[in-house]
Chain A
Amino acid sequence: MLARLTPDMMRIIAAYAAAVALFVIGAFVHPGFASFPSVTSILLVASFVGLVAAGQCFVILIGGIDLSVPWVLNAAAILLATSSLGQDSRALYAIALTLGMGALVGAANGVLIVWFGVPAVVMTLAMNGIVEGLALGLSGGMTCAACASYAPPVVAAAVHGVFLGVPAALWLWLIVVLVVSFVLSFTRFGRATYAIGNNPRAAFLAGVNVNLTTVFLYVLSGVFSALAGILLVGFGGQASLGMGDPYLFQSIAAVVIGGVSILGGRGSYLGAAAGAVSLTALVSVLLALNMPEYGRSIIYGVVILALLLLYGREQRE
């Protein structure tokens, strides 16, 4: 049975096995760790990483990367709070504006990468600085009158609200997992994404519009970062500076642990979602053990390395 599984499926299964193992270990070291409320709260935190990882997964599948995640997320959080002023009546407008901002930033990334030949690492790194400067400058370093606004109650309810016993944000993430997996596996666009990741020239010769697809993938990454920003404001109530910083490395780590090749062309969002859960569960276990910050940081790195050595290795040529 196992012999029939492809290496890609083995990677996804390994990522899920790691997540389950971490919950089991957690239950041993800290009774109640695997209880339903504890698991849902860990999954809720994982959903923010998972949403950012969806965008990151799209661009990594074509061999790109998005380093502009931290400040797109942070700027989205600030924009949502300042444009909605905490009022439900302005919530829809604020959400549309914020997602539009994410799309615009992603489009700028994509256009400069595709048509001006800027390497993705450099372009998205520079874009992170550009968005950071704009967000800081326009908000006066978060001193503006509207900056202290809370998230509109509907947004907060969309995160904290419970539907069928599970937080609403988790349902949203589940829908994203299903839709993204479907799009990647069964649509023309998804096949084109894998084709570009494997060989852009071959994809072009096969009739794929490589340039437009690439730009659209970066747009998606911007939109997912913005969406995570919106949900984080809903989760925490207010926007703050630096709230996006942890999500860059976590999103990349989740995608890679989930079995997506950083060179592109191989892997799935189902794996990346498992990667997000594993990472969050790992941090939660270490916190439950009262591990000091330095220990968490070291073990985090060692576990990522161990998982990579276990199944992230390139085939010997």
Chain B
Amino acid sequence: MPPESSAVGEARAHAAGTRRPRAAHVIGQNIGLILAASILLLSVVVFVGMFVLEQHRLPGNFEITSTVNNTMPLALAAIGQTVVVLTRGIDLSVGGVVDLTNALAAIYLPGSEAHMALVAALVVLVGAAAGLVNGLVVGLGRLQPIVVTLATLSIFQGLAIRVLPQPGGTVPGVVTDILVNTGGPFALLFLVLAALGWMALRRSRIGVQIFAVGNDEQAAIAHGINAVRTKIIAYTIGGALYALAGLFFAANATSGDATGGNVYTLTSIVATVLGGVSLFGGRGSAIGAMCGAFITTMIVNILFYAHIDPLYQSFYEGLFLVIAVVLGAAIGRLVRRGAS
């Protein structure tokens, strides 16, 4: 991972006439990602410990596979949310796009192999188009992202219900086997691909522009970056990723549900925040957001094995989110102070 906003940090270090030690600098700049990975590791350790106490064996292929498969839609949605949040935006339409693409997939996927590939590609295009609409209104309309995506959420949800009024449709077994094979955690391969894609994006021209716009839009514009175009591209990338989340969600359920994706609006924000991405833009990593998605799943697993009444589940999730954010901010401040 390259240090986030390294240019700014180094410029400051130069201005002060000193250069930070490289390791301390890298840690200081990536503290969000490091914290997210640590929390994930900790939650996995706690989960395995509880599982061993309960079942007297280590979690096997089945547990790992179902954890990975269940987290896939959230992980993908969280990456999309991250790209948008990095531009100092927020996307509340995630749930609507997941609903719409999930409904489309369940209705139109069945067919020959070429047909399925074509439909899957078209579904991703629909997601990208939904993101494009968000981006166009936010960018050209000079409106606040939170209200724009609130309105488009309603529109996309309406379209989803139009496509699939009742839960139903089928996702062909081939698609399920490719995306969320129950024989093993092969879906992790897609996350590796996503991580590689993120690293490429991060180093690309548009990636740098996304970070620049999120850090300081006026400064980015002054440096010749087309902020409107950057935002439009960021929301479009986000929309395509929510569509992938919708595909994985449909593949997991092997059928469609035009309201089942609603939860991803809020959970994608939670995963993004747990992943150390700053809601104020310009700081964070999609890999952190993936960690955040897995942390959310691990918490549900831990609560299950701790025999917590499922009715109290959201209480503990909320409590954990607050504690993680408060502690994360405190540790982040300490590390940055220590490093500089």
Chain A residues engaging chain B, CB cutoff 8 angstroms: 65, 112, 116-119, 121-123, 125-134, 136-137, 140-141, 249, 252-253, 256, 262-263, 293-302, 304-305, 308-309, 312-314, 316-317
Interface secondary structure of B, over-half rule: helix
Q: Which residues of B contact A127 (CB under 8 A)?
A: 318, 322
Contact present for B146 and A136 (CB under 8 Å): no
Q: Which residues of B contact A65 (CB under 8 A)?
A: 146
Q: Which residues of A contact B315 (CB under 8 A)?
A: 129-130, 132-134, 137
- 28 inter-chain pairs at a CB distance below 8 angstroms, sorted by A residue, are A112-B322, A117-B326, A118-B325, A118-B326, A119-B273, A122-B273, A122-B325, A130-B314, A130-B319, A133-B314, A249-B153, A249-B154, A253-B151, A262-B144, A263-B144, A298-B154, A298-B155, A298-B159, A301-B156, A301-B158, A302-B155, A304-B151, A304-B154, A305-B148, A312-B143, A312-B147, A313-B142, A317-B218
Q: What separation, in Å, do the CA atoms of A301 and B148 have in the docked complex?
A: 9
Interface residue from B143, B159, B162, B313 paired with A313 (Cβ < 8 Å): B143
Contact present for B141 and A300 (CB under 8 Å): no
Interface residue from B157, B279, B314 paired with A132 (Cβ < 8 Å): B314
Chain A nearest Cβ from B93, distance in angstroms: 9
Q: Number of A-B pairs whose CB atoms are under 8 Å?
A: 148
Interface residue from A132, A256, A297, A309 paired with B158 (Cβ < 8 Å): A297
Q: What separation, in Å, do the CA atoms of A295 and B160 have in the docked complex?
A: 11
Contact present for A301 and B153 (CB under 8 Å): yes
Q: What separation, in Å, do the CA atoms of A302 and B155 have in the docked complex?
A: 7
- B137 interfacial by beta-carbon distance below 8 Å: yes
Q: Which residues of A contact B313 (CB under 8 A)?
A: 133
Q: Which residues of A contact B279 (CB under 8 A)?
A: 119, 121-122
- B316 interfacial by beta-carbon distance below 8 Å: yes
The answer to whether A308 and B154 touch (CB under 8 A), given A123-B322, A140-B311, is: no
The answer to whether A301 and B152 touch (CB under 8 A), given A116-B329, A122-B273, is: yes
Contact present for B147 and A308 (CB under 8 Å): yes
Contact present for B311 and A117 (CB under 8 Å): no
Q: What separation, in Å, do the CA atoms of A308 and B146 have in the docked complex?
A: 12
Contact present for A122 and B321 (CB under 8 Å): yes
Q: Which residues of B contact A295 (CB under 8 A)?
A: 158, 162
Q: A119-B325, A126-B318, A308-B143 are in contact. List 12 more A-B contacts (CB 8 A).
A: A125-B269, A126-B321, A129-B314, A129-B315, A130-B322, A133-B314, A134-B315, A141-B311, A252-B150, A256-B147, A298-B162, A308-B147
Q: Which residues of A contact B141 (CB under 8 A)?
A: 308-309, 313
Q: Which residues of A contact B150 (CB under 8 A)?
A: 249, 252-253, 304
Q: What separation, in Å, do the CA atoms of A114 and B237 have in the docked complex?
A: 34
Q: Which residues of B contact A130 (CB under 8 A)?
A: 314-315, 318-319, 322
Interface residue from A112, A131, A136, A302 paired with B326 (Cβ < 8 Å): A112
Contact present for A297 and B161 (CB under 8 Å): yes
- B270 interfacial by beta-carbon distance below 8 Å: yes
Chain B nearest Cβ from A109, distance in angstroms: 10
Q: What separation, in Å, do the CA atoms of A253 and B146 have in the docked complex?
A: 10
Chain A nearest Cβ from B129, distance in angstroms: 15
- B90 interfacial by beta-carbon distance below 8 Å: yes
Interface residue from A125, A128, A294, A305 paired with B161 (Cβ < 8 Å): A294
Chain A nearest Cβ from B257, distance in angstroms: 15
Contact present for B148 and A314 (CB under 8 Å): no
A295 to B, closest residue via Cβ: B158
Q: What separation, in Å, do the CA atoms of A134 and B312 have in the docked complex?
A: 6
The answer to whether A129 and B317 touch (CB under 8 A), given A308-B148, A313-B142, is: yes
Chain A nearest Cβ from B195, distance in angstroms: 24
Contact present for B151 and A297 (CB under 8 Å): no
Contact present for A297 and B155 (CB under 8 Å): yes
Chain B nearest Cβ from A48, distance in angstroms: 19
Q: What separation, in Å, do the CA atoms of A136 and B315 have in the docked complex?
A: 9
Q: What separation, in Å, do the CA atoms of A131 and B316 have in the docked complex?
A: 10
Q: Which residues of B contact A128 (CB under 8 A)?
A: 318
User: 9 closest A-B pairs (Cβ-Cβ)?
Assistant: A133-B315, A129-B318, A297-B158, A301-B154, A298-B158, A301-B155, A130-B318, A137-B312, A129-B314
- B194 interfacial by beta-carbon distance below 8 Å: no
Q: Which residues of B contact A304 (CB under 8 A)?
A: 147, 150-151, 154
A249 to B, closest residue via Cβ: B150
Q: Which residues of A contact B273 (CB under 8 A)?
A: 119, 122
Chain B nearest Cβ from A126, distance in angstroms: 4
Chain A nearest Cβ from B251, distance in angstroms: 24
Chain B nearest Cβ from A70, distance in angstroms: 11
- B26 interfacial by beta-carbon distance below 8 Å: no
Contact present for B314 and A136 (CB under 8 Å): yes
- B300 interfacial by beta-carbon distance below 8 Å: no
Q: What separation, in Å, do the CA atoms of A122 and B317 have in the docked complex?
A: 12
Q: What separation, in Å, do the CA atoms of A312 and B148 have in the docked complex?
A: 10
- The 8 A CB mask of B236-278 against A (1 = contact, 0 = none) is 0000000000000000000000000000001001100100000
Chain B nearest Cβ from A181, distance in angstroms: 23
Q: Which residues of B contact A317 (CB under 8 A)?
A: 218
Chain B nearest Cβ from A191, distance in angstroms: 24
A248 to B, closest residue via Cβ: B150
Chain B nearest Cβ from A285, distance in angstroms: 16
Chain B nearest Cβ from A84, distance in angstroms: 23
Q: What separation, in Å, do the CA atoms of A122 and B316 have in the docked complex?
A: 15
Contact present for A314 and B90 (CB under 8 Å): no
Interface residue from A121, A126, A131, A132 paired with B90 (Cβ < 8 Å): A121
Q: What separation, in Å, do the CA atoms of A119 and B272 have in the docked complex?
A: 13
Q: What separation, in Å, do the CA atoms of A308 and B319 have in the docked complex?
A: 35
Q: Which residues of B contact A121 (CB under 8 A)?
A: 90, 269, 279
Q: What separation, in Å, do the CA atoms of A130 and B317 have in the docked complex?
A: 7
Q: Which residues of A contact B280 (CB under 8 A)?
A: 119
Q: Which residues of B contact A297 (CB under 8 A)?
A: 154-155, 157-158, 161
